[in-house]
Structure 1
Amino acid sequence: MPHAELILTGGPVFTGTGEPLNDTAVLVSGGRITGLVPAAEAQEHAGPDTRVVDLQGALLSPAFQDAHMHPMGAGVEMLQCDLSGAGSAEETLELIAAYARAYPEREWILGGGWSMEHFPGGTPTRQLLDELLGERPVILTNRDHHGAWASTEAMRRAGVDASTQDPADGRIEREAGGFPAGTFHEGAEHLFPGVRPGISDDFALAGLHAAQEALLAQGITGWQDAWVGVGMSGISDIDAIYRRAAAEGSLKVHVRGALWWERDRGMEQVEEMIARRASAAQHAPNYVPGTVKIMVDGVAENHTAAMLTPYHDHSGHATQNAGLTFVESALLKEAVTALDAAGFQVHFHALGDRAVRESLDALEAARAANGPSANRHHLAHLQMVDEADSARFAELGAAANIQALWACHEEQLDVLTLPFLRDGAEARHYPFGELRDRGARLVAGSDWPVSTADPLQALHIAVNRTAPGREDTPLGGEAQRLTVAEFMAAYTSGSAWINHRDDETGSLAAGYLADLAVISPNPFALPAEELHTARVASTWIQGECVYDAAEAASGAAVTTADGAT
């Protein structure tokens, strides 16, 4: 019997579903798991060159996979004016000023990550930037990437003024005289491409590398990029950067790319996407653009999420605004039917209950035309789902792609969203438990950089439906809580399934790749209110340690799977 190259023992083992196994050791050779054996027998599989890792009670889990994120844009913003760490409007302005001082040679101030709840009405003004930076042009995307904040000089250069009309898919906040106030929602944030500096391919690649290292430190070894197209953070072609990274060997993880459906174009995109997918298959085995992302609606905090009932005004009266749908219903059905027939997975941004319904209607039309498929379509975000639609996920084979970190009371929800929705809307928010009970397959993602990519912070809220340290009532009620096992499964075997990687990742079983995360303390043993204290202690790709928290804290270099340091 050949000896194992690596043995991990001394802690519970989560295999990707159910409760962890105790008294179990995991054997690894050639980058793959060769067996799970009783811990007492582990030494029988050790040779003189075997590395034995004592987990010291930590949980061994399949590495996490994120089913919806934007890591290249996140990485670029990390290298620009990064406002994601600000806790107030004052801190946001301090970070902008510090960045401007640090990079006087950069004509434009670009970046993002500001939070709507830090500014009255969620809409910061141009004057704040003008007073801080004078005539230096500034464009800063907000944290959810559904709006931007611009200075007067940026508007002047773009020719944006009181005469500029709102685009069909967006809205400009305006001052009393009609001049843009400084905040541009949805499609209105794209009024600046003619003057805003682009991102070089080298800078975009550096952003991808920065994001990859940040994600490995959180136990994430694979993801679905939910915007592979033009425009995210000014990147010209995200698909091309992934291909370059894969060809150079610097892409350590596996990525499923969701090709961006351009909402101002039509069915001609299908053939273009087929060609792009075929081209990538020849050159980048760990990058597969086999998905198409369709943004059906906006977000609730700026009243562009598509709802079945209109938003209320500040006085609580119903308005004529029920949000925006970016792809007309008939075209959505036609596009989804054609993409399904072509073997694409469709990834819907569906946040409001009307957007959810129209997405499910499109999948129903595709199934009627094509029959059941193995394409594994999924709807992401699901802030509101009408009760009549919950059972349709299982009926149509559609997965629920959940961003659990949002499923709690917090300022943006309580101040900018709930007061403007219909009575009883709070009970329909992020109905994870209901979807589970009605047979929907749950997969998990973060939408980073909209919020942290850390799966363990999301775990805390999925289980508690409250943020750490807060005593709010659980958002949506107790019935919407998930168990630790259910959420861990969604972020491992569930997301591996949605990424078409479940044949060799997402589970701990013989023959699977040894893509692993070690988590301490063991979240299965923690009280629910302490789940947020769990951290990733180490991350492994094919049996090689690519992140070690203890070494990172000491400043020691970690040798990665490709031999770099």
Structure 2
Amino acid sequence: MIKQLFFSLGIAILFCSCTSKGTVKADLIITNANIWTGNLDAPKAEAMAIKADTLMAVGSLDEILKFKGEFTEVQDVQGKFITPGFIDAHVHLLMGGNSLLSVQLRDASSKQEFIERIASFSKSINPGQWIVEGNWDQTLWGGELPNKVWIDKFTGSNPVAIYRMDGHMILANSAALKIAGIDKNSPDVENGEIVKNLDGTPTGILKSEAMYLVLNKIPKLSTAEKKMQSVPLKIT
């Protein structure tokens, strides 16, 4: 009986304390923000309230101002983008954006599909523009490594340097090999291989350090192009 009395009294005191003090007030309120919440039902918000090291609430300005107290600091971030902290599990953000803007080969399951996707993508870009990324996997069509002759007639003046999915091998077309000065007389590089046919002509497959004979010839991206890479990733 006594225990029940003290328990009831404690609940009453707690209730009175909460109602008298009202809502816990934030130390910091951030307004006028472009907040990505990660919640598919409400992916964006404009304000957030923080108490010590705890995020109290995210929502509209009216919702968040309820947490404003006498000593709350309010910061207008003027539309800046805010996202939950990234845990970098070996992520290359710009490379990822570039990959999404380029030809998609990750699930190409046959030689013909591989060729058709490259041919179709080549028609959608400007002459002379590089075709990169790709992320193909030859094991999906039986294991035969792709060859430049598969794609040369479809890519024309567009240099090609498309990665295998593991990033340790690329396929270059004849246009890219010419830019890099690679021919049947080119020796292998240290820790790399220029794969060649029986007659000594390059197949277009470059492994490990040999990849950079071509990759280093790709023009550097302009600031505008780097911004374009961020669009598929929703980073602004």
User: Fold match, TM over 0.5?
Assistant: yes
Q: Is the 8 A contact 2:128 2:159 kept in 1?
A: no
Q: Is the 8 A contact 1:173 1:182 kept in 2?
A: yes
Identify the match of residue 168 of structure 1 among 177, 190, 200: 190
Partner of 1:102: 124
**Counterpart check, 1:84 vs 2:106:** yes
Partner of 1:133: 155
Question: How many Å separate the matches in 1 of 2:128 and 2:94?
Answer: 21
Query: Greater Rg, structure 1 or structure 2?
Result: 2
Q: Is the 8 A contact 2:194 2:205 kept in 1?
A: yes
Question: How many Å separate the matches in 2 of 1:70 and 1:116?
Answer: 23
Partner of 1:3: 23
Question: How many Å separate the matches in 2 of 1:207 and 1:34?
Answer: 31
Q: Which amino acid aligns with 1:112?
A: G
Secondary structure of 2:87's partner?
strand
1:209-358 matches, cutoff 5 A: 209-213=231-235, 250=236
Question: How many Å separate the matches in 2 of 1:88 and 1:5?
Answer: 60
Q: Tell which has more relative contact order, 1 or 2 (C-alpha 8 A, sep 6+).
A: 1
Superposed CA deviations along residues 465-515 of structure 1, whole A, max 9, x for unmatched, are xxxxxxxxxxxxxxxxxxxxxxxxxxxxxxxxxxxxxxxxxxxxxxxxxxx
Secondary structure of 1:185's partner?
strand
Partner of 2:210: 188
Q: Which amino acid aligns with 1:102?
A: S
Partner of 1:67: 89
**Unaligned segments of structure 2, at least 5 residues:** 1-20, 27-47, 57-62, 68-83
Partner of 1:23: none
Would the alpha carbon gap of residues 139 and 5 (structure 1) be closer, same or farther in structure 2, given more than 3 Å must change? Answer: farther
Partner of 1:30: 50
Q: TM-score, normalised by structure 2?
A: 0.60
Secondary structure of 1:68's partner?
coil
Q: TM-score, normalised by structure 1?
A: 0.27
Superposed CA deviations along residues 272-308 of structure 1, whole A, max 9, x for unmatched, are xxxxxxxxxxxxxxxxxxxxxxxxxxxxxxxxxxxxx
Partner of 2:222: 200
Moved more, 84-93 or 196-205: 84-93
RMSD: 3.3
Shift in Å, 1:4: 5.5
How many residues of Structure 1 are paired with residues of Structure 2 in the alignment? Answer: 172
Would the alpha carbon gap of residues 4 and 106 (structure 1) be closer, same or farther in structure 2, given more than 3 Å must change? Answer: farther
Q: Is the 8 A contact 1:172 1:188 kept in 2?
A: yes
Shift in Å, 1:80: 2.5
Partner of 2:7: none
Q: Is the 8 A contact 2:104 2:134 kept in 1?
A: yes
Question: How many Å separate the matches in 1 of 2:65 and 2:216?
Answer: 63
Shift in Å, 1:85: 4.6
